[in-house]
A and B are shown apart, each in its own frame.
Chain A
């Protein structure tokens, strides 16, 4: 991943002493990350990205082979913030109502009564979303976009924080309906968990031999804390130069000859919001280009379509975005 920059403080995640500490993010974020890392060993980047998306009020798409801890991540995240977690296993016969809930006729009251589906939760884990039919997929995606559920003409809002963590097996596996690009655009970021390093895998054996570490995970923050953190993230300063940089970067994906489809304006908004959260997680009250650079691949790559030639030449969208980041001049001094 070219252009990806390791930032000075985030490896340990410790709050910088004497930093700009007037924000509610740093302390909570540190504890949440530590808590999740007791479950997800050796993947601080992934934890950090998940938290970034949570604070930026986006949704996360995790794409990887089965068994690398995608579900574990979502569950750990939900438990750490003491939110409600619902898991939906997507299967080919899953119906939209199975997600949103249905109106059921109540015999005693002679009225229809809404029975909320699993989407009414703080963290909704959509497992193997690409196994369901497109119709069912779009039901979830509509909830993600609207932050509400419409059943029988009644809109029912979803309470924040609301975050969908969808997992997806790579498209070349059997029996899947890969998400169309318009649907992928609704996810703020896509990450791959990847196989753990040998040492981390060794540790994992020890850890899972006794009880599940997930059971031992105690909440370290509340839903209200998450709301406050998200509120703060909206106020993080984005200098005009950085805004320009984001627009330049998104524009570059649209003009690149290697790409058939560039990033959408929604991608621009997502990138700025994610960068704000990313900066806040570092305890910084302003966004720097490094935040944008670090987020460019996860936030942009899954929305892009390679041109046929580029596909023939074995390029990947991640590569193309990384190249653009490596070449695009950073905002010049004011």
Chain B
């Protein structure tokens, strides 16, 4: 019995920590949605693009880790700048769905560019953190938890606290919230809309880079990252599109539920149900709480 409980705990903790990886991807979506009510479908492609560039800098040009990170982050700022100038500004008054379609196109562009520049083969990314159980925890608590999972959890926690403080206590954060509330009113009182957008897209780019590094260290840097990032969508639905804590909680729920379902129910169906379980979970959430756990209630008028 104790063993079973221990096993359950192990599955649960593993799932929760894996869930923080989804949270990291979802965080990028939330940042952009919060500031511009734009759903950025290309976030997954940004994850792939940024981490592939990072790997490319490190492996093809032998640039040291820190410098490669800075270069990749700078690249994402450039991407953000181009997106703001070339895609978002012309679509300022377009409908939500039109902007969504444009970001799907943007995703295609980024995926194509990344593969054209750095090739299509799977790259190994070694962060110096092993994807194996931490011996100390395995010995003392009898739980087998990967070091990479713990790192991802810590990184996610740091980023969330940082972003939370930024939104809550800085002038930039206040501007961001004002723009999110009503872009027209915000710009009429002198908040520079362009700079805010650029800032948000750059921040989302850096978040994408960090998420990509975590995913890349686990699964290799490859095109499948884009599909993995799609799983951030159910995370967002559960957490709510405009809530940073929501992204985290949503990620944890998805991570834990999909692992538990996979381990306890999966064998009855031949396994691999984690491919669709998050989406079905999201549908149930949609039926009962369409705005997500922490989202704002959507009221539509004729």
Q: Decide whether A and B are members of one complex.
A: no
- Give A contacts to B, CB under 8 Å: none
- Give B contacts to A, CB under 8 Å: none
